[in-house]
A = this chain, B = another copy of it.
Amino acid sequence: MTVKERVRIGGRSARIQSAVHDAVRKLGALSTRNQITVPQIAAEAGVTPSTIYRRWGDLSALLADVAVARLRPIADPDDTGAVETDLRAFIEQYAEEMSSPVGQALMRDVLSALKEGLPSACAGFTCDHLTTLNARAKARGETPFDIDEVIDHVVAPIIYRALFSEQIPTPDYCNRLIDRIYLPARKRRTAV
């Protein structure tokens, strides 16, 4: 009587999950973000609506589940050879993704769900990437940056602008944000 796995992972269950996710992505791509319904998704995925309701609860929970899966990183950020350029390259790509219409919609889907923990999971993805960059830095003998500082003063402004204003952050803007992380240290070092 093992009480280990109480949820089914393989076979049909996984096939349905994949089909439903694919259907959401396909329907979300066209039909510019309006009027997507559970019966529509079910038909596209070749599944009964009741299956979706039982597994995900409601539309917003399903959209959030798909959004988190799409926001989950599939690869480590590029290795440019040095921490600072690693960080600049990562942030530039991150800002572009999150400010795009798709990225904005994914964030809204995650935030709209009543499920607790999904938004913090997404923040965790970003934190993981920054930790990876720092691990590389340490392996190279470089001094790592302060992750919380980058989140507060580089990531947060980018996300705030993406969510609450219409303007997209330019690469130049991103670099100015990162300057605030690196320039003070340099000034202090050269001044003292």
Interface residues of A (CB under 8 A from B): 33-34, 60, 107-108, 111-112, 114, 119-120, 122-123, 151-153, 155-157, 159-161, 163-166, 177, 180, 184, 191
Contacts and interface: CB of A to CB of B under 8 A. Distances in A.
Given A156-B156, A159-B164, 13 more contacts: A108-B111, A108-B112, A119-B163, A119-B164, A120-B166, A122-B164, A123-B160, A152-B153, A155-B160, A156-B161, A159-B160, A160-B160, A191-B191
Given A152-B157, A156-B160, A160-B151, A114 B166 contact: no
Q: Is the interface of A mostly helix, strand, loop or mixed?
A: helix
Given A112-B112, A184-B184, A152 B163 contact: no
Nearest to A173: B152
Contacts of A123: 160, 164-165
A39 to B, nearest CB: 16
Nearest to A120: B165
Nearest to A122: B164
Contacts of A60: 112
13 contacts: A108-B112, A111-B111, A111-B163, A119-B163, A120-B165, A120-B166, A152-B153, A153-B153, A153-B180, A159-B160, A160-B160, A184-B184, A191-B191
